């Protein structure tokens, strides 16, 4: 782990706005290894990031997605085989060959770096947006790369396409609607963190840390063309006080970015509540919607190739952008 030292000028430029009082970020100490999670397009993105940069990733949680590189750089294939059709049947052999070729070319992390990572896969059995059987295909894909005992597949919950929580004040778990957070009597954040990190302490009832708005364009040159200007960083009091902490990156789904749902996702999954008691800093990178080129009206993460053919490799624009943002937080 290393200490992140930020001058007053750097604080003003990188951490543009705070939703509470600014913590003492000059004392922030973060481990070099990170964990990831995501819902829907965010889950596809989390898997892509893991396979590209596994050297720095200890584990990944994916909710409501299919195999890495499912769409094979084709929106047509994405809609036919990686979305909501009962006939979905991704070309696993072609995907496997592509990933092996990119790995050999050095554009993905070496296979050995994935072996001991923790994998948590979740899919609601009543998901009508992403075909539930795609989770099983994702599970089988990861069994090729990771020690099988490290992989968990949960696909027996009668939930729709949403992020399930045990909060009582959210929408119905039987519907998929904005902000795609629901009261399901199931604590997905606690379950995924338990698997990724080992034993975790109980979450707080209400958060006590600080949610910061960070300027993604200033932090990462690659973010200017493909990410929103503002992203979010949740910093618990313990981490701001200089205790050793770990970074967790949480990817929103389509139509779940802040411009669409406000702060619902960055405050509503309970990841922040667990961060307070488990010395975690939570980073919520943000995409931006576009109805022109690239065509992405729902602010999805790129899992089909709208930013270019190398979207699922280290040279992919969004993967580069998020990696630069992570490196800026872990200098």
Active site members: 40, 127, 161
* Concatenated DSSP letters of 252-263: --TT-SHHHHTT
Distance CA 93, CA 95 (A): 5
CA angle in degrees (0–180, nearest 5) for 230-262-40: 85
**What are the Cα distances from residue 1, in Å, to 34, 35, 245?**
11, 15, 9
Widest Cα–Cα separation across the chain = 56
Distance CA 59, CA 286 (A): 21
Of 320, 208, 193, nearest in space to 246 by CA: 193
| Sheet strands (E) in the chain | 2-3, 17-18, 29-39, 57-63, 118-122, 151-154, 163-165, 171-172, 181-183, 210-215, 230-235, 244-251, 280-284
CB 275 within 8 A of CB 219: no
């Amino acid at each position: 782990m290393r200490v992140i030292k930020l001058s007053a000028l750097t604080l003003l430029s990188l951490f543009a706005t705070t939703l509470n009082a600014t913590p003492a970020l000059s004392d922030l100490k973060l481990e070099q290894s990170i964990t990831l999670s995501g819902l829907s397009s965010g889950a596809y993105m989390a898997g892509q990031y893991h396979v590209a940069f596994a050297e720095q990733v200890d584990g990944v949680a994916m909710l409501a997605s299919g195999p890495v590189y499912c769409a094979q750089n084709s929106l047509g294939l994405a809609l036919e085989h990686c979305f909501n059709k009962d006939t979905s049947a991704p070309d696993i052999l072609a995907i496997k060959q592509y990933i092996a070729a990119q790995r050999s070319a050095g554009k993905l992390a070496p296979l050995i770096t994935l072996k001991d990572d923790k994998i948590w896969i979740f899919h609601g059995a009543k998901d009508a947006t992403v075909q539930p059987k795609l989770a099983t295909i994702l599970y089988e894909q990861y069994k090729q790369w990771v020690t099988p005992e490290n992989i968990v597949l949960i696909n027996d919950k009668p939930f729709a396409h949403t992020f399930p929580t045990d909060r009582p004040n959210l929408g119905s778990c039987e519907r998929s609607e904005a902000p795609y957070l629901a009261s399901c009597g199931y604590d997905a954040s606690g379950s995924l963190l338990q698997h990724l990190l080992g034993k975790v302490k109980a979450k707080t009832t209400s958060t006590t840390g600080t949610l910061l708005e960070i300027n993604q364009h200033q932090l990462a040159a690659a973010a200017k063309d493909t990410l929103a200007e503002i992203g979010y960083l949740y910093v618990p009091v313990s981490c701001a006080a200089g205790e050793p902490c770990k970074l967790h990156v949480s990817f929103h789904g389509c139509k779940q970015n802040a411009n669409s749902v406000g702060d619902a996702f960055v405050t509503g999954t309970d990841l922040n509540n667990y961060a307070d008691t488990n010395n975690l800093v939570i980073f919520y990178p943000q995409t931006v919607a576009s109805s022109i080129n690239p065509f992405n009206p729902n602010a999805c993460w790129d899992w089909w190739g709208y930013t270019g053919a190398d979207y699922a490799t280290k040279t992919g624009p969004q993967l580069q952008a998020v990696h630069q943002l992570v490196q800026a937080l872990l200098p």
